[in-house]
Amino acid sequence: MKIKLIHGFSNKTRIQILECIKDEEKTVSQIVEEIKGNQSNISQHLACLKGCGIIIGRNEGKYIFYSLRNQHIRDLLTMFDVVLEDVENDVACCERHID
């Protein structure tokens, strides 16, 4: 189960999406515009994040507003930043590091 959860955080686009909706819910169009992605790709990543239980969607009319599932997910994103500050030089030097 942990592997599936961690998989949700293991892609650059998914992290960009999570950062985009960290403070407020947004529609697919708003996310696409903010992170400069394409709608099909973003929608696939949203489905992954929703399937992993990391985000939720709220229907309003013809729109779906996406947000983080709860404060724990928000805290986890913040913790990633805190840990990264400690290890960023090592991460930058990692030969297997993927942007």
Concatenated DSSP letters for the chain?
Answer: -HHHHHHTTSSHHHHHHHHHTSSS-B-HHHHHHHHT--HHHHHHHHHHHHHTTSEEEEEETTEEEEEESSHHHHHHHHHHHHHHHHHHHHHHH-TT---
The number of folded domains in the chain is 1
Return d(Cα 22, Cα 69) in angstroms, integer. Answer: 10
Is 99 inside a domain boundary?
Answer: no
Is 35 inside a domain boundary?
Answer: yes
Q: What is the pLDDT of residues 20-61, one digit of tens each?
A: 999 999 999 999 999 999 999 999 999 999 999 999 999 999
Its domain, for residue 72, covers 2-93
pTM attached to this predicted model: 0.89
pLDDT for 39: 96
Is 98 inside a domain boundary?
Answer: no
Domain CATH number, residue 86: 1.10.10.10
pLDDT for 92: 77
Q: Is the pLDDT of residue 82 over 80?
A: yes
